[in-house]
Amino acid sequence: MSLSYNMSIVTRFAPSPTGFLHIGGARTALFNYLLAKNKGGKFLLRIEDTDQKRSTPEAVDAILDSLSWLGLEHDGDIVYQFSRASHHKEMVEKLLSEGKAYHCYASPEELEAMREKARNEKRPPGYDGRWRDRDPSEAPEGINPVVRLKTPQSGVTTLKDDVQGEISVANDQLDDLILLRSDGTPTYMLSVVIDDYDMGVTHIMRGDDHLTNSFRQKQIYQAFGWEMPKLSHVPLIHGADGAKLSKRHGALGADAYRDMGILPEALCNYLLRLGWSHGDDEIIPRNQAIEWFSTKHIGKSPARFDMEKLLSLNAHYLREKNNDALMSLIQPLMEKKQNRELERSEVEKITKGMAPLKERAKDLHILAEGASVYLTQNPFVLEDKPKKQLSTEDAQTVLKFVYENIDIISCWDQETLEAALRELAERQGLKFGKVAGPLRAAISGRSVSPGVFDLMATLGQKETMDRLKSALNL
């Protein structure tokens, strides 16, 4: 069976669907995607659902959803590992017939005794090979055997890893691993090798927690007479405190970052820089990442996750995004908060007034919160600070004066408004700030808002007058 593509480079992402897409997994997917695209190759997706007890369709959906949110579209059909189990099994028959694998009838008690012995002798536990060369006629009755690989007993198994360099393990440290369990199901180690081979994978890139598996997998490749794909084992992500990233460090699924109002562009850029570098470049959009990515510049030591850095990249990508796109991202957030649909006029105002808001926002929630300054509220509610600011007699006098004089302004744009307000201040013998301050408090109703003329222009004359009137009635 061949699922392979005739392409120069084939990478794959092979998550086990037992939960959400962890950001470590998201980074692995991103690196594999970039490597494939850099070489005009294919990026394949394999769902490793062999552990049927722990795999769930919800987890598959969550992983697919996150990958699609991150813009990491895979090529070709998704390969579901479990559906290929009978093929994995068949391939073991081949090894058995060639004498490269054998049935092992060791009982659980015997295996426990081997472990106990190894413990006493202070060496790593392992199977002692007692059924390796035994005649099958000696097989005990009524026991379903496992199938083990006849691994080399001397020499070394060497991996050449693009990140970790060349690493060897003495073969006498590696016992005869199980290929098929006693119920006939293939082990993970076997399935991974056959699937990678059948999918034509040329480059395996994954977390370095899989490094030890690679020695085992290499032995399986050798038994089949196949060449092992190129390897890159990427150091895992650590938390800001230097410890391996865990639940303790906060939200860890890619979806959790989406919920925090992080843009996928920002998360991808952040994850890319977390473990890979291109000189001092920090802002690396997707097309640039595709052009530059190679396994050469993957760091050898674990990178620390830094939320502040992620937020500052997010702020950058928010500023870069066009206003309509931002509007469609914050609209659902605003509607949820307001518990109503936004009016078309509000959407228009927010989109028009997005520029000053996106200058300051670090995430979509902050942006949505800022954008609510443009929502029509009846009555208009002011925050405590501006309310207090407007409760003085001086402030009320200024507001009244402005209110009575701006309804005649016919050209309601930022420049005209500013000129008119300056003129009004002068006429009253007031410093400009004494007019602009209360005006901004009254019209925005908050302590932080876009500039007052920006705001007035975006809100339009009627809404501005309405808000002034509310402030006058305080």
Interface residues toward ligand GLU, by CB under 6 A:
14-16, 48, 192, 206, 210
- Active-site entry in 53, 122, 247, 296: 247
Beta carbon of residue 77, minimum distance to ligand GLU (angstroms, whole number): 18
> Is beta strand 146-149 parallel, antiparallel or unpaired with respect to 178-180?
antiparallel
Q: How far is the CB of 216 from ligand GLU (least distance, A)?
A: 11
Q: Are 206 and 233 in contact (CB under 8 A)?
A: yes
H helix or E strand, kind and range, residue 206: strand 203-207
User: Could you confirm whether 247 is annotated as catalytic?
Assistant: yes
Closest to ligand GLU by CB, 159 or 315: 159
Closest distance between ligand GLU and the C-beta of residue 336, in Å? Answer: 33
Nearer residue to ligand GLU within complex by CB, 234 or 382: 234
Distance CA 178, CA 327 (A): 55
> Across-strand partners of 148?
102, 178
Looking at the Cβ atoms of 14 and 402, the one nearer to ligand GLU is 14
Contact 412, 458 (CB under 8 A): no
Task: Please name the residues in contact with 171: beta carbons below 8 A apart, sequence gap of 6 or more.
Answer: 151, 152, 153, 154, 155, 156, 157
Kindly tell me which of 81 and 389 has the beta carbon lying closer to ligand GLU. 81
Residue pair 457/386 in contact by the 8 Å Cβ criterion: no
How many C-beta atoms lie closer than 10 Å to residue 124's C-beta? 10
Question: Under 8 Å CB-to-CB from 249, ≥6 apart: which residues?
Answer: 239, 240, 241, 243, 305
Beta carbons within 10 angstroms of residue 78's beta carbon:
11
Minimum distance of ligand GLU from residue 262's CB (angstroms): 23
**Placement of tokens 């997707």 in the chain:** 286
Q: Which is nearer to ligand GLU, 210 or 387 (CB)?
A: 210
Shortest Å, Cβ 72 to ligand GLU = 15
* Beta carbon nearer to ligand GLU, 207 or 299: 207
Q: CB of 84 within 8 A of CB of 191?
A: yes
Q: How far is the CB of 69 from ligand GLU (least distance, A)?
A: 19
- Cα 275 to chain centroid distance, Å, stands at 14
Amino acid, single-letter form, for residue 262: I
Rounded Cα distance, 53 and 362, in Å: 40
Catalytic residues: 247
